[in-house]
Amino acid sequence: ATGLEAELVINSEFMSLDCVDRMVLSINGKVPGPTLRAQPGELVQITVHNMMASQSVSIHFHGQYQNNTPWQDGAATFSGCPIPAQTSWTYSFHANPDPGTYQYHSHVGGTSVGGVGGVLVIEGAVSAATAAIDGEHVLHLFDWWHAPQEEILSGLMSTQFRWPGDPQSVLINGRGSFDCHHNSMYTCNITANASCSDGKGPIAPANLRPWYRPDYQPPQCDASACPDLEVFEVSMNGTYLLRLIGATSLSFLNVAVEGHNLTIVETDGHPTAPLNVSSVDINSGQRLGVLIHAIQQPSTYVIRAQIRGRSGVRVAHALLRYTGSPTVTVDPVGVQIPQPAWHDNEFTFQQQNALRGTQSMPVPATEQVVRRFEILNTQERLEGRNFNGKPSVDSIKAAIGLESGDRPENNCVSANNTRLLRWFLGRRTFFHSTTPVLSKLYFNQGVDELTEDNSYYQVEVGKVYDIVIQNYPACNGVCETHSFHMHGMPFWVLGTFRGEFNGSAEQVAAFNLVDPPMRDSIMTPSEGVNNVPEIRAGCGYVVIRFKPIGPGAWPFHCHQLLHAAPMGSIVVFHTGREGLPPPPSNLLVCGDMNLQTIMNRLEE
């Protein structure tokens, strides 16, 4: 077999994904791009044609191990250089060895926020539970702003820090529905939302960008141009696999199907013990394989995906239609489906802890753990930047890479915690490094920048590590859930816990070493957000165990992408220079990479 070959043509064009005409970044003329299907372990060759006028792009195959092909990971500035505008480039790697549900998306700036993403399926049954299904459907779950992605990114990265607010729509397979006449869902709260500030003070409502005005009614909104809802056909008495793809840039979702329970059988490409639920939580970066049994009255049922963890709830709908049932016009908006309240984080906590793995890859024993990384996940204001229009200081930044025990003062006034400042200064190096990390390592140039103070951690292939991600309130007191994704390898989830980790024997004994589920993206526990005082207090921590499969520079970051590169919630685990395979012959060069050194290397 020659393997999977595909071409992805990336372009910018105007489309109406949610009844509102907007410039989007499409793949082969669509958002999302095509669902790619590979056989386990086969050679995958994906040629990307970047037709955009001036924007570079990359494709990260999210969840693929890239064993011995770290250069193909598509994480621009880490594994390689982005693909320049008006240029083509071919990714080449072997698919993961086992069946499962994956995704792909651009890993440059705001391009994935603008639409560059899709689904990757490694075909075959992930476990016995899925061996006898009657069919499958893919649900790519995405969130969508009417502000252009460049504006969102610039707002997050500028000294005037502007938060883009909640998305205007949620999309299922690129289809959403914005209500052209009623925008009651989101208005700009001047005191609570940075997007209402210009850094000097509150912006008068009349001067707000249109999408933040209380009376926002997009002129490009055309209710007759709304896409039809996606319809998934099932046959009476059949069992179907729904592949749910958490492709959002910010939103944490709950998905439910009217009149049907669901059985979770897969987390991020790994089998789970079947778990029966009434609805599923899925955060950015995560994928779930879910079985549904078509055993109700033949009819058309509503599928509902709702934003959680934020009170500005947006909803997306799709339909589940029993083949041959009478065609009825369903108004999905009025259909009530039991789903947890937006701030019911106990639901999330319970569901995350109820998932059990099948020991498809046995968890390494605690005695093998060579180092435990303790990471503090918070948001602070730093260094004379402005936020919320308060005359004071300091923009908010998501911070990981702090050792547990270094607690910011948590007053939203200043970061006079020296370690925090040192972290932030280090992070500047992180972003100002123009040579991709992998090339730095391989060509032994500028490796002295790859220090732990700069958020680069060296690990070894085959050794075992733990990470405790301690969630910590942001400086405004809010403890928000985040979704952390590891490149290049999966991890075992040893548990999600309330409170603060202190390393006591008792806490360590509570780790699940019997049947931890395997994932590559995991949520931190939280108490919800949006100024509900009674749910602010608690936070919690999640413990994961990982074992690098192959050499590389593997980012570990918040997959709520607005928190990642633009706000700094990202670190890199790298394996050093030893054992790094040579770069591909089509290696892209950028930044201060020394072309001659590279040519010499390639000739050796």
563 is an interface residue for ligand C2O by CB under 6 A:
no
Residue 484 vs 497, nearer CB to ligand C2O: 484
Cα-based distances in Å from 142 to 169, 177, 254: 9, 13, 12
Pairwise CA distance, residues 77 & 590, whole Å: 9
Cα separation values, 499 from 132, 351, 468, 533, Å: 42, 18, 12, 17
Taking the complex as a whole, how short is the minimal distance between the CB of residue 562 and ligand C2O, in angstroms?
Answer: 13
Token duo for residue 530? 């949006």
Q: Which residue is listed with tokens 């499962």? A: 100
Complex with ligand C2O: residue 20 or 567, whichever CB lies closer: 567
**In angstroms, rounded to a whole number, what is the distance separating the alpha carbons of residues 519 and 63?**
9
- Binding string, residues 71-90; x marks residues near ligand C2O by CB under 6 A: ----x---------------
277 or 562: CB nearest ligand C2O = 562
- Size of the chain in residues: 604
Q: To the nearest whole angstrom, how small is the minimum distance from the Cβ of residue 485 to ligand C2O? A: 5
Q: Toward ligand C2O, which CB reaches closer, 488 or 540?
A: 488
User: Sheet holding 270-277: strands in order across?
Assistant: 169-172, 135-144, 239-246, 287-293, 262-267, 270-277
Give min distance, CB of 247 to ligand C2O, in A: 9
According to the binding rule CB under 6 A, does residue 566 interact with ligand C2O?
Answer: no
Binding segment for ligand C2O (CB under 6 A), chosen from 269-277, 551-559, 587-595, 596-604, is 551-559
User: Which residue lies nearest ligand C2O, judged by its C-beta?
Assistant: 62
485 binds ligand C2O (CB under 6 A): yes
**What whole-number distance in Å separates Cα of residue 491 and Cα of residue 485?**
10
Q: Give the chain's count of helices (H) and strands (E).
A: 6, 30
467 three-state secondary structure: strand
285 lines the binding site for ligand C2O (CB under 6 A): yes
Q: Which is nearer to ligand C2O, 347 or 556 (CB)?
A: 556
| Closest CB to ligand C2O among residues 314, 559 | 559
As measured in angstroms, the least distance from the Cβ of 408 to ligand C2O is 25
Distance of CA 121 to the CA centre of its chain: 17
How would you class 589 by CB atoms within 10 Å of its CB: exposed for 0-12, middle for 13-18, buried for 19 or more? middle
- Chosen residue from 49, 62, 209, 547 binding ligand C2O by CB under 6 A: 62
Helical H segments across 82-163, by residue range: 149-157
Phi and psi at residue 38, to the nearest 5°: -120, 155
Q: What is the largest CA-CA distance in the chain?
A: 69
Does 60 participate in binding ligand C2O (rule CB under 6 A)? Answer: yes
Residue 195 burial (C-beta neighbours within 10 Å; 0-12, 13-18, 19+): buried
Q: Is there binding between residue 155 and ligand C2O (CB under 6 A)?
A: no
The stretch among 311-319, 491-499, 554-562, 577-585 that binds ligand C2O (CB under 6 A) is: 554-562
Q: Does 107 bind ligand C2O (CB under 6 A)?
A: yes
**Per-residue binder mask for ligand C2O (CB under 6 A), 15-54, x = binder:** ----------------------------------------
Which parts of this chain interact with ligand C2O (CB under 6 A)? 60, 62, 75, 105, 107, 285, 485, 487, 555, 557, 559
